[in-house]
């Protein structure tokens, strides 16, 4: 477990940036009612789900 966490250290920055972008999209969509097209939101949501699955697998 510790070894795999240590190996992920280099990948952390990229994933944090990705999550920050996703949070920004959702925050903007829900708080301000920004006119994000439904298609774009679905695309973002599906990519976030794929990303979470990827992280849960420990890759």
| pLDDT tens by residue, 1-59 | 444 544 555 555 566 777 777 777 776 666 655 555 666 767 777 888 888 888 888 75
Interatomic CA distance for residues 28 and 35, integer angstroms: 9
> Residue 45's pLDDT is what?
77
Q: Which of 46, 41, 47, 42 is nearest to 25 (CA)?
A: 41
Interatomic CA distance for residues 6 and 10, integer angstroms: 8
Contact by Cβ (8 Å): 35, 2:
no
Contact by Cβ (8 Å): 36, 29:
yes
Residue 6: CB atoms within 10 Å: 9
Model's pTM, two decimal places? 0.35
């Amino acid at each position: 477990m510790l070894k795999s966490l240590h190996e992920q250290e280099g990948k952390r920055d990229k994933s944090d940036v990705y999550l920050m972008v996703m949070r920004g999209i959702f925050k903007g969509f829900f708080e301000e009612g920004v006119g994000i097209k439904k298609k774009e939101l679905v695309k973002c949501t599906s990519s976030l789900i794929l990303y979470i699955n990827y992280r849960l697998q420990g890759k």
